[in-house]
Amino acid sequence: MPIATFFWALGHPVGRIILKELHPFQLGSVTLAVGFICLLLFCALTGRIGSLVRLPKKDLLLSLLLGVLGFFLYQILTFSALKRIPASMNAILISTNVILIMLFAAIFLGERIGRNRVIGILTAGVGVVFVIFNRGFTLGSKVGILGCLFSMGAAVVFSLYSVFAKRILAQNDPVVIVTLALFSGAVLLVIMASRTVGMEGLVRAGAVTWLLMLLLGIGMIGISYPIWFFCLKRLPASQISIYIYMTPMFAVILSLIILQERFSWLFWLGGVLILGGIVTVNVFSKGEGVRRQR
């Protein structure tokens, strides 16, 4: 799990470096395409190709639709955010998806929100404000408010993907479902990039940029997703979910080292509050998320 979270975190600073040369749509297209190829090879090596072919039409269609949320829109929003705000800030804000998943589960799945979860939500909410306005409570250009909105939008669409995918993932092989979702996300993003910004930037990109893009596609998707499902199959979900909290911490450390990012004390206070809220929601509220009686 530390290996998986490290690669997920690495995407924030490395993505910001690549976006100095490429458009977010171009980066997202390559990342998803490479990730899909890696997962398709993984399916072939583990005997899952048959499951791809035999998947019921309803589940096949739902899987492809999930790709619109979990990969197509998420890639657009998160890389658009990285184009405008520091990688550390993007990582912290996107980590609020853990809180949002719980909220959407209450709305769409009828799960109850207990006292500790409410405390966690409010704590993380205050943290988000501090992170966004860490250089002062102003909507000036230095804050990158649009980038923050893109980042929070990425957290929202990934949370919706996670909630809507819950049932279909429980009934089918998660690797197969994610592979199909990746396929639809990659195809849509390639089409969108071709029709809007074009692919000329990829042709002109240097060898270093291509190596970094391949690193993101292979590491963030091709390596991290199989590791995640391998661990999920052998360990309790509550045990491995703790490791997800390492992603924003790894991202901040890597951004400090690679990009030399620096922030005011409000950013660090906000980050602590967000992580504290996430831990409160997921660790100190066990037994509160029981489905409401209808």
Q: What is the pLDDT of residue 76?
A: 95
Q: What is the pLDDT of residue 104?
A: 84
Give the Cβ contact number of residue 187 at 10 Å. Answer: 17
Q: What is the pLDDT of residue 290?
A: 46
Q: What is the pLDDT of residue 77?
A: 95
Q: What is the pLDDT of residue 112?
A: 76
Which residue type sits at 255? S
Q: What is the pLDDT of residue 143?
A: 47
Ranges of the chain with pLDDT below 70: 134-143, 232-233, 235-242, 245, 282-294
- Whole-model pTM over 0.85: no
Give the Cβ contact number of residue 140 at 10 Å. Answer: 9
Q: What is the pLDDT of residue 288?
A: 55
Q: What is the pLDDT of residue 251?
A: 84
Residue 218: both structure tokens together? 């292979």
CA atoms of 76 and 269, how far apart (whole Å): 28
Of 224, 72, 99, whose CA–CA distance to 156 is shortest?
99
- CB–CB of 22/209 below 8 Å? yes
Q: What is the pLDDT of residue 292?
A: 43
Angle at 152 between CA 290 and CA 101, to 5 degrees: 15
Render pLDDT for 2-46 as a digit per residue (tens, 0 to 9). 888 899 889 999 999 999 999 999 999 999 999 999 999 999 999
Which residue type sits at 12? H
DSSP string, 211-247: HHHHHHIIIIIIIHHHHHHHHHHHS-HHHHGGGGGHH
Distance of CA 143 to the CA centre of its chain: 22
Helix (H, G, I), strand (E, B) or coil at 111: strand
Place of tokens 């990425």: 154
CA atoms of 65 and 70, how far apart (whole Å): 9
